[in-house]
Structure 1
Amino acid sequence: MQKKLVILGAGESGIGAALLGKQQGYDVFVSDGGVIKDIYRQELAVNHIPFEEGHHSWDIILNTDEIVKSPGIPEKNELMKKVREMQVPVISEIELAYRFSKDKKIIAITGSNGKSTTTALTFHIFETAGLNVAMVGNIGLSYARQVATAPVDYYVVEISSFQLDDIKEFKPNVAILLNITPDHLDRYDYKMENYVASKFRIAMNQGPEDYFVYCKDDPEIIKHLEKQTIYSTTIPFTIMEPLKQGGFMANEQVNIQVNDEPVIVSMYDLALKGKHNLYNSMAAGIAGRTMDIRKEKIRESLTSFKSLEHRMEYVASVRGIDFINDSKATNVNSLWFALESMETPVVLIMGGVDKGNDYSAIRELVKEKVKAIVCLGVDNAPIREALSNDTPLMIDTRNMKDAVQAAFKHAAKGDVVLLSPACASFDLFKNYEDRGRQFKEAVREL
């Protein structure tokens, strides 16, 4: 008899899971409590996959063999409580995709910040080396869609903690853990240790033939490593000390020492600037070496990579003022990394939907580097309360055009105008991409 598969949530990961499930012979049903985007609704119709939207049919959902849950659905949801109570097996789309690609090579990347950049850079290294590779997960196409429609030999997968919460057997050949800082704690009972444990699930099924690549300078990672046994081959990276095996800095050069062929690149030649990108470059370079990609190809990739849209993306220089779009910075830590990499005075555009942000972490950097803050949001009070004593000037704006013009007015030649909001975008924009595009448009109109 056909195995019944219910997919909760019809975003990119849900649709990918539906296509893969159907292709593999499951009896698939898609249920979304909200409105399904037209493009996804058409895809379901064309592929003859039954679906519902605007409600959930509990009788169908609770009588299935397995559920693929969208990472956006919290466990506190009434339906999920019932699903758990009835002990219906739940997996993530990542798990389903893995089930049908486990004979391929998988490089999985997680962390609170830098995931997308490191995923894109790792993909760039593998592509430059001529390998048959795809970049999937939280960036681009869903992993399941890629497996269903255009399978490859190497998958570079960006994974969030929510996706890791529902894996069972998922076992990447290389697991990269970049860093862990407080984020999404509302989904983890406001307990940091729950969030950390969730991130570490990336390595839970690995064996000695696999690699666990981690940042040795991250206190949360180090603390957790003392408690958890890792069964794979561990490879650290650090900017604090030389290592026999792993990634490290020496004489202002990035050194990647893996599998007897060291890769050495001057930090000044790296395509990605800033301290946080030293870590991202090391992690990606280590992934390349674990797969025996030649050092020349890794060096070439690390120096030729173009950064991603909305992630420290250079937009233009207007009258000697550089404009940088970092709209993807939706938490305080991302803003910290952005400010930390700045070497000239900054006019900062920030604000949006505040997820209970603690701005104290950036106060010193704001004092040191920020000459004005342009607040962009419906409610700018939290930013004003936290940072008004740390910068000479604060301006309130309610749309992107005004924000960019105010920033331009208060910036001087040689300064940087940085959009790095540290907040979600939903008060004034569709999403962070929309916010970033409006920023670029406003800059071009100056």
Structure 2
Amino acid sequence: MKRLVVLGAGESGVGTAILGKKEGYDVFVSDKGMITEEYKNVLRNFEIEWEEQKHTESKILNADVVMKSPGIPDKVAMIVKLKEMGVSVVSEIEFAAKFTNAQIVGITGSNGKTTTTMLTHYVLEKGGLDINMAGNIGDSFAKQVAENDAPFYVLELSSFQLDGSIDFAPHIAVLTNITPDHLDRYENKFENYIASKFRIAMNQTEKDYFIYDADDEVIVTYLKNHPIRARLLPFSLTKKVKNGAYLEEGNIKITIDNNEFNMSTTNLSLKGNHNVKNAMAAATVSQLLKIRKATIRECLENFHGVEHRLENVLKINNVQYINDSKATNVNATFYALDAMKSSTVWIVGGVDKGNDYTELYPLVNEKVKAIICLGMDNSKIINAFGNCVDNIVETQSMKEAVNIAYKIAERNENVLLSPACASFDLFKNYEERGRQFKEAVREL
């Protein structure tokens, strides 16, 4: 019997344990932190052995395969040791993909991947495909493969999940964009992070498809120097492409082997140029999977977006409060500020991942009236924007931040929570941060 050791008992870890058990592995789960009661009960129900607040070497080093949670860096001593011993260390996505024959659409990128994943799933499901959604969203991929496998999956993939892939090959891969993010995990080398994203195409063949943003210099340059085997389908707002998607006089045009799709961008439910790109990517996937054009159009007109992503919360005294808690890097915040049509009070801060704020200067100068810092250490934000904005306030809680924003913002202005940072200093995750923002706004 092969031994599977799972490091980290979160959603992906517990899902992998369930699948491993079902596939006849001897399974052991180890978590350095505390395991939630909910997950402990699942492990007990499946009679899976587990430990918390420690990693017992003797129970881990005898593994045939180790699945590590995306949150554990490669340079941790235990991982280094396992690799030196020749033990295969994989991600949940790599492990689970071996046990399904499904056609997989894999979506990655620094920004836009959640919206694109949910939008793609929405169109494909409405188009009649029996399709599951997993990856960074909802129930883990492994758990779904174990308990309700489907013929199609759309997976939202982070660079950490791709780092642990060896043979994983989606039939359709989407790369939304690449901007510096998580550089703390990649030795502060942007090229390492870029290579990590491109692992999504590493095992694709000539029968597969690679959909990407042709306006993104980083992607275009990488493809020139590292050609991939899959068939390329670019999308662009600025140039005409022969096969793929482009914008012409306010219309999205998609061509795949002389099969054409047209739609006016004015009818898109999600506003902003970045959402035109997300729509292009989702529509290209849908074209490939033979969804009716009328269905694609209808879905792009009706899709209402993702919680914590430029989500309009309430209008109070003619001030619009907007929750963009999902903006955990500078580029995501760039899109948010770019979408603001009037003067804005900006709530920003958290755990800095090596951010470079310079690309935000023009937008901050043009649109931001005041900055409210929300983090344990705000010195970098204050230094970065001290010359752009007169009014910078430091706060230690969401309630305080929202109350100050309420005092500063005037009629027809916006209050935008778009942190550009991870949430781990004051909050459990970006969802909790967004929920606290919405509660604080409702209490005004």
Secondary structure, aligned partner of 2:267: coil
1:262–1:295 Cα contact (<8 Å) kept: no
Residue identity opposite 2:407 in structure 1: K
Residue identity opposite 2:202 in structure 1: M
Residue identity opposite 2:386 in structure 1: S
Pair 1:187-2:185 in alignment: yes
- The residue that corresponds to 2:295 in the other structure is 297
Cα displacement string for residues 381-426 of structure 1 (whole angstroms, at most 9, x for unaligned residues): 2111100211232222221122112112222222111100111222
Give the one of 102, 105, 108 matched to 1:107: 105
Give the one of 102, 106, 117 matched to 1:119: 117
Report 1:237-252 matches (<5 A).
237-252=235-250
Pair 1:29-2:28 in alignment: yes
2:184–2:354 Cα contact (<8 Å) kept: no
Structure-1 separation of matches of 2:123 and 2:417? 28
Cα displacement string for residues 20-64 of structure 1 (whole angstroms, at most 9, x for unaligned residues): 111111111111111111111110011101111111121221111
Report the CA distance between 1:306 and its aligned residue. Answer: 1.1
Give the one of 132, 139, 142 matched to 1:141: 139
- The residue that corresponds to 1:81 in the other structure is 80
Structure-2 separation of matches of 1:323 and 1:83? 48
Secondary structure, aligned partner of 1:391: coil
Secondary structure, aligned partner of 2:105: strand
Check 1:125–1:259 CA distance in 2 against 1; reply closer, same or farther (3 A cut): farther
Structure-2 separation of matches of 1:432 and 1:134? 24
1:4–1:28 Cα contact (<8 Å) kept: yes
- The residue that corresponds to 1:196 in the other structure is 194
Report 1:211-222 matches (<5 A).
211-222=209-220
Which region of structure 1 is more displaced relative to structure 2, 402-411 or 110-119? 402-411
Structure-2 separation of matches of 1:267 and 1:406? 37
Structure-2 separation of matches of 1:366 and 1:31? 45
Which region of structure 1 is more displaced relative to structure 2, 86-95 or 376-385? 376-385
- The residue that corresponds to 1:53 in the other structure is 52
- The residue that corresponds to 1:278 in the other structure is 276
Cα displacement string for residues 165-184 of structure 1 (whole angstroms, at most 9, x for unaligned residues): 11121111100011111111
2:238–2:247 Cα contact (<8 Å) kept: yes
Structure-2 separation of matches of 1:412 and 1:262? 47
Report the CA distance between 1:236 and its aligned residue. Answer: 0.2
- The residue that corresponds to 1:389 in the other structure is 387
- The residue that corresponds to 2:408 in the other structure is 410
Give the one of 263, 266, 270 matched to 2:264: 266
- The residue that corresponds to 1:63 in the other structure is 62
Report the CA distance between 1:192 and its aligned residue. Answer: 1.3
Structure-2 separation of matches of 1:301 and 1:144? 28
- The residue that corresponds to 1:332 in the other structure is 330
Report the CA distance between 1:259 and its aligned residue. Answer: 4.5
Structure-2 separation of matches of 1:318 and 1:266? 33
TM-score in terms of structure 2 length? 0.98
Structure-2 separation of matches of 1:37 and 1:87? 31
Cα displacement string for residues 227-261 of structure 1 (whole angstroms, at most 9, x for unaligned residues): 21211111000111122211111111222222443
Cα displacement string for residues 422-443 of structure 1 (whole angstroms, at most 9, x for unaligned residues): 1122222221111100110111
2:135–2:155 Cα contact (<8 Å) kept: yes
Residue identity opposite 1:84 in structure 2: K
Residue identity opposite 1:52 in structure 2: E
2:184–2:353 Cα contact (<8 Å) kept: no
Give the one of 343, 346, 352 matched to 1:345: 343
Pair 1:98-2:97 in alignment: yes
Secondary structure, aligned partner of 1:207: coil
Report the CA distance between 1:378 and its aligned residue. Answer: 2.1
| Unmatched runs of 5 consecutive residues or more in structure 2 | none
Structure-2 separation of matches of 1:53 and 1:399? 31
Secondary structure, aligned partner of 1:226: helix
Structure-1 separation of matches of 2:382 and 2:91? 40
Structure-2 separation of matches of 1:47 and 1:260? 51
Structure-2 separation of matches of 1:250 and 1:242? 8
Structure-1 separation of matches of 2:96 and 2:287? 25
1:353–1:424 Cα contact (<8 Å) kept: yes
Structure-2 separation of matches of 1:353 and 1:430? 12
Report the CA distance between 1:262 and its aligned residue. Answer: 2.4
Structure-1 separation of matches of 2:377 and 2:92? 36
Report 1:168-187 matches (<5 A).
168-187=166-185
Structure-1 separation of matches of 2:98 and 2:220? 31
Secondary structure, aligned partner of 2:347: strand
Cα displacement string for residues 107-133 of structure 1 (whole angstroms, at most 9, x for unaligned residues): 000001111111111111111112111
Secondary structure, aligned partner of 1:196: helix
**What is the number of equivalent residue pairs in this alignment?**
444
Report 1:345-384 matches (<5 A).
345-384=343-382
4+ long deviations beyond 6 Å: none
TM-score in terms of structure 1 length? 0.97
Cα displacement string for residues 325-351 of structure 1 (whole angstroms, at most 9, x for unaligned residues): 000111111111111122222111111
Which region of structure 1 is more displaced relative to structure 2, 58-67 or 8-17? 58-67
Structure-2 separation of matches of 1:166 and 1:430? 24
| Unmatched runs of 5 consecutive residues or more in structure 1 | none
1:206–1:231 Cα contact (<8 Å) kept: yes
Cα displacement string for residues 348-401 of structure 1 (whole angstroms, at most 9, x for unaligned residues): 111112223211110111001111111112222211110021123222222112
1:317–1:323 Cα contact (<8 Å) kept: yes
Residue identity opposite 1:88 in structure 2: V
Structure-2 separation of matches of 1:245 and 1:433? 38
Give the one of 308, 316, 333 matched to 1:318: 316
Residue identity opposite 1:245 in structure 2: N
